């Protein structure tokens, strides 16, 4: 009689399988192109059933953009984690500085092959645009909660639009520099000043907004 592994082991195995599938999918996408690669090919490469792939990834795009949940929640989490006396802008700025130092994929660090894969795929480009919009929506909800604003208040949405647009611009700039041949280390060590200028431009409007 087979004995089921403890919950912790089962979850670890699931994460291992999920990562294995995603890794094989990314390699195929980079070699063949996203649109040209099939779920069947991914399942074969990962040595799992096709249904296993679709169980772990509801959308083909999520096989490539597998940090999507972390990405869409990132700005809202930064606001939720702001320190006493810290504004939403300051918290987001601090989170971006950390992401820059750590070469975080959520900030746009993905390497040239991955950046080219996304840029060459209309489907992935559209999905990434959708994820940026979802991130802005999550941020607006976090700002409304942080300020106690009523559901129909436009200010949290306006603030979220400004912050999310700034982070989207920085994400795109990192991708552009990656495609131009700069390494992650080169970008991380030279991009700080440019990011500072972007955040400084928001300071007059949002410097005291949603202070904890």
What are the angstrom distances between the C-alpha of 167 and each of 172, 174, 186?
9, 11, 19
CB 161 within 8 A of CB 95: no
- The confidence score (pLDDT) of residue 6 equals 62
Q: Which two tokens stand for residue 76?
A: 């809202």
What are the angstrom distances between the C-alpha of 198 and each of 115, 202, 207, 210?
23, 7, 13, 19
CB 160 within 8 A of CB 189: no
CB 135 within 8 A of CB 75: yes
CB 105 within 8 A of CB 66: no
Q: Which of 100, 99, 76 is nearest to 210 (CA)?
A: 76
Q: Which two tokens stand for residue 38?
A: 């099939």
Task: Give pLDDT tens digits along the chain (212 positions).
Answer: 455 556 588 888 889 999 999 999 999 999 999 999 999 999 999 999 999 999 999 999 999 998 899 999 999 999 999 999 999 999 999 999 999 999 999 999 999 999 999 999 999 999 999 999 999 999 999 999 999 999 889 999 999 999 999 999 999 999 999 999 999 999 998 999 999 999 999 999 999 999 99
CB atoms within 10 A of CB 83: 9
- The confidence score (pLDDT) of residue 67 equals 86
CB 108 within 8 A of CB 171: yes
CB 145 within 8 A of CB 212: no
- The confidence score (pLDDT) of residue 1 equals 46
């Amino acid at each position: 009689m087979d004995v089921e592994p403890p919950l912790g082991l089962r979850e670890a195995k699931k994460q291992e399988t999920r990562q294995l599938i995603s890794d094989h999918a990314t390699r195929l996408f980079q070699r063949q192109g996203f649109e040209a690669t099939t779920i069947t090919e991914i399942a074969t490469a990962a040595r799992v059933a096709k249904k296993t792939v679709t169980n772990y990834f509801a959308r083909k795009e999520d096989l490539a953009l597998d940090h999507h949940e972390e990405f869409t929640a990132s700005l809202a989490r930064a606001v939720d984690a702001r320190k006493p006396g810290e504004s939403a802008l300051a918290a987001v700025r601090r989170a971006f500085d950390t992401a820059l130092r750590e070469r975080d994929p959520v900030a746009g660090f993905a390497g040239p092959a991955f950046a080219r894969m996304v840029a060459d795929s209309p489907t992935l480009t559209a999905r990434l645009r959708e994820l940026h919009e979802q991130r802005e929506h999550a941020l607006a909800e976090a700002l409304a909660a942080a300020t106690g604003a009523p559901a129909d208040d436009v200010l949290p949405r306006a603030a979220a639009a400004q912050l999310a647009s700034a982070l989207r611009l920085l994400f795109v700039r990192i991708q552009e520099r990656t495609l131009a041949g700069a390494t992650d280390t080169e970008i991380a060590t030279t991009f700080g000043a440019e990011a500072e200028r972007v955040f400084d431009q928001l300071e007059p409007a949002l410097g005291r907004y949603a202070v904890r």
